Amino acid sequence: MIFVCAGSREYQFNRLFQKIDDLLEKGVIQEEVFAQIGASTYKPRNYQYRNYISKEEYNQWMEASRLVITHGGTGSIIGALKKGKKVIAVTRLSKYEEHVDDHQKQIVDLFTREHYILGVHEIEELREALALVDEKSTILRRFEKESYILNIIEEFIKNNYH
C-alpha cells in the first residue's frame, strides 16, 4: 500500500495527485493508494483520498503503508523515516503555486544526498523514482539517530540562511 500525504498547509498540490492517477491508469502503480490531499482542488479518480485526516488516521495509514510519497516538508519526511518507511519526497514548487518559495528543494536535496529518501522535483521524475525505490541496487539508509539528521539540517540552515 502506498500512502501519499500533502500536509495541512493551505497550498494545493494538484500536480502530484494528477500524476498518481496517471500512473495508476497506466499500470505503473499496481497497488492500493490512499492520499491525504490537503487543500488540493484535483479530485483523484483511481484511489481513495481525503482532504484532511486526524493524527490517529495519519498514523494508521503510515503504519499500513509499504511506501510513503510525501511533499518535501521536514516533518512529513522525518515522520515516515522514523516509522521505517521507504520515502519518495516530491517538492512543492512556487512556479506551480504550490508554495511561496522553493525551500523544499533544499530539504529534499539534503535528505536525498544523505541517502535517506528519493527526491523528485519535477513530476515526470516520479515514475523513475517508483522504479528505483524497490531495486536492490538503490540503497536507502535506515533512519536510526534523529540527532544525526537534525544536526545535518541545523548545519544546512546555518550555512545557507545566516
| Residue 139 near residue 115, CB atoms below 8 Å | yes
Rounded to the nearest angstrom, the gap between the alpha carbon of residue 133 and the centroid of all alpha carbons in its chain is 13
CA pair distance 102, 95, nearest whole angstrom: 9
- Check residue 145 and give its pLDDT: 59
CA pair distance 63, 41, nearest whole angstrom: 26
Query: How many C-beta atoms surround the C-beta of residue 124 within 10 A?
Result: 9
Closest CA to 5 of 121, 135, 100, 54: 54
- Secondary structure letter of residue 94 according to DSSP: G
- 86 membership: H or E segment, kind and range: strand 86-90
Q: Which residue blocks in 30-82 are alpha helix, DSSP H?
A: 55-64, 74-82
| Residue 157 near residue 58, CB atoms below 8 Å | no
Homologous superfamily assigned to 2-161 = Glycogen Phosphorylase B; (3.40.50.2000)
**What are the extents of the domains in the chain?**
2-161
Mean pLDDT for each 10-residue chunk of the chain (162 residues)? Answer: 93 96 97 97 97 95 97 91 94 90 91 93 97 82 67 67 54
* Conformational region of residue 27, where left means phi above 0, alpha means psi within -120 to 50, and beta covers everything else: left
| Residue 5 near residue 71, CB atoms below 8 Å | yes
Rounded to the nearest angstrom, the gap between the alpha carbon of residue 89 and the centroid of all alpha carbons in its chain is 3
